[in-house]
Copies of this chain bind each other. A is one copy, B any other.
Amino acid sequence: VLLDAGLAVCDHAALSTLSVDAVVAEAGVAKGTFYVHFRDRADYLVALHRRFHDDMAPTIAAAGEGIAPGLDRLWSATIAYLDGCLSSPGTKAMLLDARAEPAIATAVAASNDRFARRVAPDLAEAGAQNPLDSARLYVAMAAEVALLELAAGRRRPTLRHALSELLGSTAH
């Protein structure tokens, strides 16, 4: 409940303005209730971030299901990721603001790294000399596309095309 409220607030405000007051106001509970469920604000932010990824992960995993490692699988997962970002509440806060919040910067970095590790085999298949490093950069690009699409409020086909172009000349 409180997590849903947090993501809802994040959809129209920066993460830095997501005060405990704002969360309980959105959720319609007393301020003390917040501390029944979370030790402190930092604890809450970590949970919020985890929630966001737990919502997204299955969709992305499903998109790559049954496809052999390689650019096709990566691209399929990418589309699922971008569409998921566009439709999830609080995406901007989780992708952008979260990296700057000291309370969760570590958690975000770890999460990005897991993403990169998942992407690396596909890039290895495509001939990258250092798949993990390439994967980190690709994840950064994908996040940038997600943010730009979110700013526009819709899919940006030319951006997605530019992303696939940078992925490799054998792209879509």
Interface, chain A (partner B; CB < 8 A)? 14-17, 96-97, 99-102, 128-130, 133-134, 136-138, 140-141, 143-145, 148, 156, 158-159, 161-163, 165-169
Contact of A100 among B100, B130, B136, B167 (CB under 8 A): B100
5 further contact pairs, Cβ within 8 A, besides A137-B163, A140-B140, A140-B141: A16-B101, A133-B162, A134-B165, A134-B166, A137-B141
Q: Nearest Cβ distance between residue A77 and chain B, in whole angstroms?
A: 17
A134 to B96, CA, bound (A): 20
Q: Is B140 a contact of A158 with CB atoms below 8 Å?
A: no
Q: Nearest Cβ distance between residue A104 and chain B, in whole angstroms?
A: 12
Q: Is B166 a contact of A169 with CB atoms below 8 Å?
A: no
Q: Nearest Cβ distance between residue A135 and chain B, in whole angstroms?
A: 8
Question: Which chain B residue shows the least CB distance to A156?
Answer: B133
A97 to B108, CA, bound (A): 14
Q: Is A161 a contact of B129 with CB atoms below 8 Å?
A: yes
Q: What would 20 A/B residue contacts be, using CB atoms closer than 8 Å?
A: A14-B100, A14-B102, A16-B102, A97-B100, A99-B100, A128-B165, A129-B162, A129-B165, A130-B159, A130-B161, A133-B158, A134-B162, A134-B165, A136-B144, A136-B162, A137-B141, A138-B166, A140-B141, A166-B166, A168-B169
A144 to B112, CA, bound (A): 12
Contact of A99 among B96, B133, B140, B161 (CB under 8 A): B96
A143 cross-chain contacts in B, Cβ below 8 A: 140
Q: Nearest Cβ distance between residue A121 and chain B, in whole angstroms?
A: 15
